[in-house]
Structure 1
Amino acid sequence: MNPSCNLFIVGPTGAGKTSIGRRLAGHYGLSFVDLDQEVEQHCGVDVNTVFEIEGEGGFRQRESTLLDALSQRAGVLLATGAGAVLAAANRQWLVERGFVVWLQASIEQQLERLERDQRRPLLAVPDRHARLAAMAVVREPIYRELADLAVPGQHGGVSAASERCIGLIDQHWQRAATPSPLHQP
């Protein structure tokens, strides 16, 4: 058990971090924050444009800066981007500041869920299956290492997946009290 007042969701592209995360935040009374959306809001442009102008390195730096700030809040559910776990500092902040939930998804599930999605710059390649497989080789061991709880991916809608997550989280998350606003950074 990792006692914390925060839930952090990690997992591959298309695992449902944002859609399930919103429902979990509502259920647990947490503020919902999507890291990719925060990057877009702070930059004033979408993630694709950040990648085009600054490359993946520039995006990752912006992502890390925001992850540091957002993970210091209390009472949040933070849905990370799939690659946010690549930086060692990000991993440390996630483990130290929250209960980490890994939403798993097979490559086949990812392909199905992302079939019409054109917004993800790392998937703008002819062979998405090969790209997702290559990312999984690098990222899955990291997700496994970070996770306080792994939630197996299953077919079905967001509602059923959210209920499954709630059942598992309730069994494993030792929720710490949220500090008063005077003590938040």
Structure 2
Amino acid sequence: MTLSAESPLRNQLVSRLGSRAIVFVGLMGAGKTSIGRRVAQALDLPFVDSDHEIETVSRLTVPELFERYGEPEFRALEHRVIERLVREGAGVVSTGGGAFMNAQTRTIVAEHAISVWLKADLDVLMDRVSKRQTRPLLKTADPRATMAKLMDDRYPTYAQADLTIESRDEKREVITAEVIEALDRYLDLATRRTASAS
């Protein structure tokens, strides 16, 4: 989905977004980076993948950070990076699967961004992550069981996101359009609430 610079929907959306970021949350394989990049392109906003940003500032890959410093240290660095990104203003940020589990990160995202959970079922996630062998949390004897446990543990928290979009075996353009339509409805409702309160 591409919205031209003159598109009323694009201009309206970006105007109502103001200085807030759009933050994608969800499990690995949900499509946060690919959909996030397309949404950013459609709205002509900058896009940042928080994992890539972490790798840039640390000069280590995410698996190397996990191996050398452990998950708690990685999560602390992840929080600092995401806080900086959402405070920078309007843009699109895709986050790692565990980022939204950090209460401090959820708070900073709620203050400076609109969160979008890309929700996918187990089969879809496993099909996608099996194509990449760089997932530190799936280096277990039974990756499917590990993923199922991650879903059980994390989905109730992801459900706190402002918007939920079903990520499924559908063209990325379709999911992107659904995200943009949901953002439009969400921002429209927020604008109406603000107007009626004043």
Q: TM-score if structure 1 supplies the norm length?
A: 0.88
Counterpart for residue 30 of structure 2: 15
**Alignment size in residue pairs:** 174
Q: 1:152 is matched with which residue: 162, 166, 171?
A: 166
Deviations 1:44-96 (A, max 9, x none): 12111111111111211110111111111111111111100121110101111
Q: Kindly indicate whether the alpha-carbon contact (under 8 Å) linking 2:17 and 2:90 is maintained by their aligned counterparts in 1.
A: no
State how 1:12-51 maps to structure 2 within 5 Å: 12-51=27-66
Secondary structure of 1:74's match?
coil
Q: Give yes or no for the alignment of 1:71 onto 2:75.
A: no
CA distance in 2, matches of 1:173, 1:79: 20
More displaced 10-residue stretch of structure 1: 163-172 or 133-142? 163-172
Q: In the TM superposition, what is the alpha-carbon distance from 1:157 to its structure 2 partner? A: 2.8
Q: Kindly indicate whether the alpha-carbon contact (under 8 Å) linking 1:111 and 1:129 is maintained by their aligned counterparts in 2.
A: yes
Runs of 4+ residues over 4 Å off in structure 1: none
Identity, % of aligned pairs? 33
Q: 2:126 is matched with which residue: 101, 108, 111?
A: 111
Q: Kindly indicate whether the alpha-carbon contact (under 8 Å) linking 1:10 and 1:80 is maintained by their aligned counterparts in 2.
A: yes
CA distance in 1, matches of 2:186, 2:72: 35
Letter in structure 2 aligned against 1:151? I
Secondary structure of 1:89's match?
helix
Secondary structure of 2:60's match?
coil
Q: Kindly indicate whether the alpha-carbon contact (under 8 Å) linking 2:31 and 2:167 is maintained by their aligned counterparts in 1.
A: no
Give unmatched runs, 5+ long, in structure 2: 1-15, 192-198
Q: Kindly indicate whether the alpha-carbon contact (under 8 Å) linking 2:25 and 2:32 is maintained by their aligned counterparts in 1.
A: yes
Q: In the TM superposition, what is the alpha-carbon distance from 1:3 to its structure 2 partner? A: 6.0
Q: Give yes or no for the alignment of 1:138 onto 2:138.
A: no
CA distance in 1, matches of 2:138, 2:172: 22
Q: Kindly indicate whether the alpha-carbon contact (under 8 Å) linking 1:18 and 1:79 is maintained by their aligned counterparts in 2.
A: yes
**Greater fraction helix:** 2
Q: 2:185 is matched with which residue: 149, 171, 180?
A: 171
Secondary structure of 1:134's match?
helix
Q: TM-score if structure 2 supplies the norm length?
A: 0.82
Secondary structure of 1:45's match?
coil
Q: Kindly indicate whether the alpha-carbon contact (under 8 Å) linking 1:9 and 1:103 is maintained by their aligned counterparts in 2.
A: yes
Counterpart for residue 182 of structure 1: none
Higher relative contact order (CA 8 A, sep 6+): 1
Say which one has the larger Rg: 2
CA distance in 1, matches of 2:95, 2:124: 19
Counterpart for residue 141 of structure 2: 126
